[in-house]
Structure 1
């Protein structure tokens, strides 16, 4: 017991290193929080505090890290950009009308280098060829579009 009292900071450092290495294999961010607590215990040992205080400091730091830091880190690491797959990635893009579009008959647009059948979002409007449109929705193989407003000069 006397050896532990004299070398407590080294023991805490060893525990922190072992937990840090184990974290590299688990990747769940729990063991690294415990390693952070062990480092706090090491600081308490360097300050020559009683072993009970060292254990309480390490436990408190570990619990605080698990409760406050880990959820934010997990959210940040597991979150990423939202992926748009398939035709959904075309929604919001602009295309050019190649065949007139009206509520009575579907036309065609060139969108992302491909030709698509297109219908107007508002059945009461007609969109002539050459106009720029924005894709609001994809229904099957048909793009639902709305004309993009132009600034008159």
Structure 2
């Protein structure tokens, strides 16, 4: 055991920290693994055990202190571009077939023909009228 260089032990430690990273998906383990790799580099260039531990702690803490807040802020942001059904909500459409309270009709939305029904069952929309899409339920647009 004494024949193995310190940098190898640090790399073994980095690999060992990679296992819980993959199993638990906790990025902190990855940051600790990067700290262990930095300590292995320090050992490889001849740094003593105190320097190795110091580099491990400083790199790990620095990564956790910088990367975690950035990742948390990024996770809270909404996507800039809505896709799918979410992209259709709030858009305008043109009535192609009368939409009234009791029965649905047809609208042209984003270049496609959709079945539609009124949000307010007492409201009716005539052909050619512009309407707003407030929701999508299955293949039916809810308009007002």
Is TM (by shorter chain) over 0.5?
yes
Q: 1:41-87 CA deviation, whole Å, 9 max, x = no partner?
A: 0011011011101100110000011111234345557877598999x
**Compared CA separation, residues 80 and 28, structure 1 to 2 (3 A):** farther
TM-score scaled by length of structure 2: 0.65
> What corresponds to 2:13 in structure 1?
15
Q: 104, 110, 114: which is aligned to 2:106?
A: 110
| Rg larger in structure | 1
Provide the aligned length of Structure 1 versus Structure 2: 130
Please say if residues 96 and 109 of structure 1, whose CA atoms lie closer than 8 Å, have aligned partners that are also in contact: no
Q: Secondary structure at the match of 2:116?
A: strand
Show structure 1 runs of 5+ residues with no match.
120-126, 145-153
Show structure 2 runs of 5+ residues with no match.
108-112, 136-140
Q: 106, 126, 129: which is aligned to 2:127?
A: 129
**Compared CA separation, residues 80 and 9, structure 1 to 2 (3 A):** farther
> What corresponds to 1:35 in structure 2?
33
Is residue 143 of structure 2 the alignment partner of residue 143 of structure 1?
yes
TM-score scaled by length of structure 1: 0.62
Is residue 47 of structure 2 the alignment partner of residue 46 of structure 1?
no
Q: Secondary structure at the match of 1:30?
A: helix
Aligned CA RMSD, in angstroms, stands at: 4.1
